[in-house]
Amino acid sequence: MTDLLHPSAPSNDGADALQGLTSESLSPTKLAMKRFMHHKGAVVALVVLAILMLIALLAPITARYGVNETVFKTSAERPNYNLPPSSVAWLGTDDIGRDLYSRLIYGLRVSLLIALVSAVISTLLGVSIGAIAGLRGGRFDDILMRVTDLFLAFPFLVTLLLLRSVLASVSWLEPIVGEITSIRFVIVLFGLTGWMVVARIMRGQVLALKEREFIEASRALGASNTRIVMKHLIPNSIGPILVALTFSVAASIVSEATLAFFGYGPQAGDGATSLGILVAGSRGALLPGYWWLVVFPGVLLVVTTLCVNFVGDGLRDATDPKLDMGGK
Amino acid sequence: MLRYILRRLLWAVPIVLIATFVVYVALRVGTDPVASYKRVNQRASAKKIQQYIEANGLYDGFGGYIKGYFQWLGGFLTGDWPRSIKGSREVWPAVKEAMMNTLRLGITSSVIGITIGLTLGVFVALKPGSLRDSATNTLTFVAISTPPFVSALFLQLFFAVYWTRWFESPLLPTSGVYPPGQQGFDVGLMVKHMILPVTVVVIQIVAVYTRYMRASLLDVLNSEYMRTARAKGISERRVLVRHALRNALIPIVTLVAIDFGAILGGLIITEGVFSYPGLGMYFLKAFENGDFPLMMPWVFFFTILVILFNLIADVSYAVLDPRIRLD
Amino acid sequence: MSTTKRSTKFAALAVGLAMVVAACGDDSEYTTATTAAAVETTAAAAETTAAPAPDTTAAPETTGAPAAEAAMRITVDINPDAVWEDGSPVTVADFECTLNAAINTPGSISTTGYDKIIGISAGESDQQVVIEFSEVYAPYKGLFGSLIKAASVEDCNDISTDFADFNGTSNTEWLMDSWSPSQLVYVPNPNYWGEAPKVERIVMVPFADGDTQNAALLAGEVDFIYPQFYAGISDALADPNVTSKVEFGGDYEGFYFQSDPSRGGPFSDPIFREAFVKSIDRDAVFEQIYIPLSEGKGKLLNCGPIVPGPYCNDAWAEGQFDPEGAAALLEENGWAKNADGFWAKDGGEAPTVRWIINTGNVRRENTQAFLIPLMQAAGFNVVADNCDAACYFQQRLPSLDYDMAMYISTAPPDPSYLVPGFTCAQIPTEANQQQGQNSTGWCNEEASAKLEESDVTVDEAARAALIKDALTLMAADRVMLPLFQFPKAGFWRTDKLAGAVDGQLNNYNAFNNFSEWEDADGDGQIIIGAEQWPECLNPVTECANSSWMVWTTAFPISQGVWETTNEGTYQITNLVAGEPVVEVL
């Protein structure tokens, strides 16, 4: 929804960040670190997120069962399905007797993979589009930003669904995007739909920076646009870009869950699972009262997204001193 | 000013044409209407299929898309809309009904959500760094991080199911616009049915707008110009009401305009969970069937709406912000 | 009034609503009989394309050709009291219209059986219908299950634009009062000649998903629902005021192995297929997937692609799961496990088995998740190769683009659907324009002959024997593996509903006896929840290709000669005066 589209509040236009970075005596990085540490929520979130990522990364060790392994063979006397939390399955079992705890770990792993890779893709895309628009300027910039605005404002789920069906219909794209139900496909899809916010931020940065002396100087020395972008613009915009990247990760996690909820996510059959698939699967468990199947996936999804959002918030405060001033 | 608006309006025409053409092509490629037609009319002969292609301008190739687009647009503008592929039903009545339902839901939730959000935003911006600020900050983050279907399911379960179990009479209905079997118009029932879906949407809007408002107001309060006003000895209250709020609202107005389309579109999820027969359900159903004649008016309307509100955002920004000078 | 005796002109095709009605499955399921019918429909597009007609279809339009010799004649006496909602009598014209609508309406979904009709005429009066068939057609009771009122349409030869969003005709207890995308209302038909219903109003409402629907029943917003069965549904609907009844009808689920030799999939090798099927632990699948689902009420299905009844001989009961036998069989024939632990022949590559299901179906995804690791451990490289329902049922299955499939079929009470589904002539080939309906590609000449013979054998015992022989051959060829006869259940509120609610809950009729239900809470209406909602009400086009469409908008207002009972047999309706006379000429 709206929140996904405008994760950064209006005051965080890239241009603002610049002042903070240059007007203090401490080195920008150290200053940012210091500011980040002041944001308690962000620090706690970062720690939680690090633990979650570690658990997900070490899935073969941390998970008690395989992703599709039943906790024990079912029988009429001792059914293995829909068991509440117990010592056999810490977080209970699902409708075919699989351990929810282990599945959550594997699901988190897939969701984080999708979110991180697609966020990197969309950030790269956004940085390029924003930089080109900002540097070229003029009509070209107008058109690119108009397109960005439209993309931002169009109903997001519909954009996803339309692009999804277009990608799947063009046969020569298949080697690149993979099968429509594959994880790769979802990554490409999110990568192509998440660049707008980054593009805007990057453009703002470029516009603010490009008239400054050091850029003009290097231009006078004959540096190419690519070189200017790589050497000056990106290093000077790293803060806002990182913030956008973080929010983009959170948005991807929620998007994946939404697509899976409507049955358009990655495929579950082979055993791969994701937070989205687990949450979507919990729908039928509400009414029968299998609360563990609803609560744990839902909570893990919210906690993961929340932590990523908090880290993003902390990063933003760290790189945008203006917001912080209220506290003084 | 007038010249600016006129120029923007003129610009909007080619933008609308190009944008709707792009979605037209996306739909043609992604949902292949000819294939949908064949699926529904399995006995259709090659001649019949050819007739259908010509009647609807479903030609191949890029030139075919252009030709087909203008054929579609001509029919669309003259009120000659093709019937749905599945069931060959008239499209406009279905669009109209869904639109009314969605507008009702969307406008209600937007008004409530934005009002609460802005108030809350002012409330926390006045004491930045305080307990209420950080508590609100955390809560808005939790709300933003909770997908609407999760909150929808929980609300539904609590109000419709557990409430009934505990108190033996249902408190709020879980689906539809009216209770099953209702005939005729009834405001009370309609409102009752909107409470849960509106709540889900409002939670999201409140969270987003609280953050917008807080940030925007802090921005203004910390600006040079406000410091000057304070230094001049103008009372804090007057500063706030006269200058700060007014200036802080300028970017918000723009955001409301930009968000409008997104809010309406975002209702899709909520409508889905509550079986609310709005534009979201309409689109999801049409998409599932690959029903091009149903989807095209939908995306056309939304594209125009999005462009229109973008325009409103720009113009309102220009009108409201005295610092912006128009050439 | 004279009814023309029409000859082969319309013999080409006709629509079989009755067939669909009997065969109605879910939109998302593979409905054997309907799709079987669809073959003939598409093949018969030959009417205008001038392509050679496949041998399974009657000759294309040949106006003026002499009428073929009739091989079977059915004489139906219409009940003299039978009238439409406006009081006009039901006559032979309505039978003719039903046939013509089906024949010539573009997009009609089923012609099976009707294509064998060479003439309809009035007998002694226009309330006696004489139907002549070009050849003996054993499953004739599936025909004319739902009449179309001739006076209600402009052109019986194309009714594709009729009934788009309303159908005001009726020859039953009910009249459609209104229909919209969100609600359907029935009121009693004042001109109905039988017993009047006990309720003043029936309301049907759609629900987007099962959970919303369940919640609405618990909240008392609906009185009755007929949900798709899943594990946990009884827990979900546990409430002192809610009761249920579970039935086992014509739905069955199974595994299918695409074995067409000309398509060259891994299962075209009978040795590999046999070893593979012998390695599937059907009992384990049953215990893990189906026991939770049926709460222990169901049993493993051993009949093959058919449900228990007069045609089932439990041919799959013995010797199916035999992993040692499978390994031995492979080794004897030059197969060995390769470095990855997969069976490969003569040092070649290990075949990959592409298992397809429709994405989003939790039960099937669960089955894959459960079985694939077991099969891989047994040395078979099985991979999930899924796509959405439209792609699965409308593209991949009909074009045999899969190795292993899993789906529910909805069998009508009559086994005639086995003929298009499992005979050699129906394998999609160039010769039948890829329109054949045999989606497993199984060809066993002996079995095909027996199945085809069963279609023209009217004697019940002889027919059953032929079907059973064919099923035995099918079991030996291991072309499919039956799993489960699927439960159907109605759930309703006892504080709101009384009477014969549990009378007809099998999928043949669903809740169609609601005129016998009683409105216990006296609010003047009964509200029924619908899991799927028709897009349109046309009874012969794609609109009708869904069981929910038929249950909600066709059954309640239209009846024909025969109807299906809850037990899966046919009986005559009160539209006719007595059992029709069938003569084999």
SS (H, E, C) C371-423: HHHHHHHCCCEEEECCECHHHHHHHHCCCCCCCEEEEEEECCCCHHHHHHHHC
CB contact under 8 A, B176 and C239: no
* B90, B161, B289: residue with CB nearest C215: B161
Give the model's pLDDT for residue B40.
73
Question: What is the distance between the terminal CA atoms of chain A, rounded to a whole angstrom?
Answer: 34
* B32 interfaces chain C, CB cutoff of 8 Å: no
Give the model's pLDDT for residue C238.
85
Give the model's pLDDT for residue C464.
92
Helix or strand holding residue A99 (H, E): none
Instruction: Give the pair of three-digit tokens for residue C255.
Output: 């595994």
* C41, C108, C216: residue with CB nearest B175: C216
Is residue B271 within 8 A of residue B278, CB to CB? The reply is yes
Q: What is the DSSP string of A236-265?
A: HHHHHHHHHHHHHHHHHHHHHHHHHHTT-S
pLDDT of C172 > 90? The answer is yes
B164 to chain C: closest CA residue: C219
> If DSSP codes are grouped into helix, strand and coil, which group holds residue A127?
helix
* A180 interfaces chain C, CB cutoff of 8 Å: yes
| Residue C3 pLDDT level (bands cut at 50, 70, 90) | very low
Q: Which of C378, A150, C358, C35 is nearest to C368 (CA)?
A: C358
Q: Which chain C residues have a beta carbon less than 8 Å from that of A290?
A: 232, 235
* B42, B174, B273: residue with CB nearest C219: B174
Which of A2, A143, A275 to mutate: most B Cβ within 10 Å? A2
A38 to chain B: closest CA residue: B129
Mean pLDDT by 10 residues, chain A (328 residues): 36 39 60 81 92 91 86 84 89 90 92 93 91 84 83 84 88 79 87 88 83 77 78 81 89 89 73 82 76 87 92 83 39
Q: Are strands C183-188 and C202-206 parallel, antiparallel or unpaired?
A: antiparallel
Q: Which chain A residues have a beta carbon less than 8 Å from that of B272?
A: 262
d(CA C402, CA C413): 28
d(CA C546, CA C534): 8
* B44, B94, B290: residue with CB nearest C106: B44
A317 to chain B: closest CA residue: B215
| Residue B161 pLDDT level (bands cut at 50, 70, 90) | low
Give the model's pLDDT for residue B147.
87
Q: Which chain B residues have a beta carbon less than 8 Å from that of C27?
A: none
Give the model's pLDDT for residue A2.
35
* C48, C527, C536: residue with CB nearest B87: C536
C59-74: pLDDT as tens digits? 333 333 445 688 899 9
| Residue C336 pLDDT level (bands cut at 50, 70, 90) | very high
Give the model's pLDDT for residue C214.
86
Which residue shows structure tokens 């968000």?
Answer: B259
B33 to chain C, minimum CA–CA distance in Å?
A: 14
pLDDT of C376 > 60? The answer is yes
Q: Which chain A residues have a beta carbon less than 8 Å from that of B138?
A: 41
Give the model's pLDDT for residue C382.
92
Give the model's pLDDT for residue B138.
86
C297 to chain A: closest CA residue: A76
pLDDT of C395 > 70? The answer is yes
* A276 interfaces chain C, CB cutoff of 8 Å: no
C398-411: pLDDT as tens digits? 889 999 999 988 88
| Residue type at C561 in one-letter notation | V
| Residue type at A66 in one-letter notation | G
Task: Enumerate neighbours of B (3 or more CB pairs within 8 A).
Answer: A, C
The ipTM, to two decimals, is: 0.86
Query: Rounded to the nearest 5 degrees, what angle is found at the Cα of A259, between the Cα atoms of A257 and A263?
Result: 110
What mean pLDDT comes out for the span B48-76? Answer: 88
Which of A69, A72, A83, A96 to mutate: most C Cβ within 10 Å? A96
* B318 interfaces chain C, CB cutoff of 8 Å: no
* B96 interfaces chain C, CB cutoff of 8 Å: no
> If DSSP codes are grouped into helix, strand and coil, which group holds residue B182?
coil
* A155, A279, A302: residue with CB nearest B268: A155
* Number of alpha helices (DSSP H) and beta strands (DSSP E) in chain B: 14, 0
> If DSSP codes are grouped into helix, strand and coil, which group holds residue B193?
helix
CB contact under 8 A, C181 and B97: yes
Helix or strand holding residue A169 (H, E): helix A156-169
* B47 interfaces chain C, CB cutoff of 8 Å: yes
Mark residue A212 as left, alpha or beta (left: phi above 0; alpha: psi -120 to 50; beta: remaining).
beta
pLDDT of C437 > 90? The answer is no
Is residue C522 within 8 A of residue C218, CB to CB? The reply is no
Task: Enumerate neighbours of A (3 or more CB pairs within 8 A).
Answer: B, C
CB contact under 8 A, A68 and C232: no
* B157, B262, B287: residue with CB nearest A161: B287
Decide: residue C7, CB within 10 A, 0-12 exposed, 13-18 middle, 19+ buried: middle
Mean pLDDT of chain C: 82
d(CA C322, CA C328): 10
CB contact under 8 A, B156 and C161: no
Q: How many residues in chain A?
A: 328
C44 to chain B: closest CA residue: B43
* C164, C206, C209: residue with CB nearest B87: C164
d(CA C426, CA C540): 23
The contacts of residue C213 (CB under 8 Å, 6+ apart) are: C207, C222, C225, C227, C529, C531
DSSP C208: S
Size of interface B-C (CB pairs under 8 A): 130
CB contact under 8 A, B88 and C160: yes
* C152 interfaces chain B, CB cutoff of 8 Å: no
Give the model's pLDDT for residue A212.
77
CB contact under 8 A, B138 and A41: yes
Give the model's pLDDT for residue B324.
53
Q: Are strands C72-77 and C581-584 parallel, antiparallel or unpaired?
A: antiparallel
CB contact under 8 A, A162 and B272: no
Least confident interval from A17-31, B11-25, C9-23, C568-582: C9-23
| Residue B126 pLDDT level (bands cut at 50, 70, 90) | confident
CB contact under 8 A, C106 and B41: yes
C231 to chain A, minimum CA–CA distance in Å?
A: 7
Q: Which chain B residues have a beta carbon less than 8 Å from that of A262?
A: 272, 284
* Number of alpha helices (DSSP H) and beta strands (DSSP E) in chain A: 17, 0
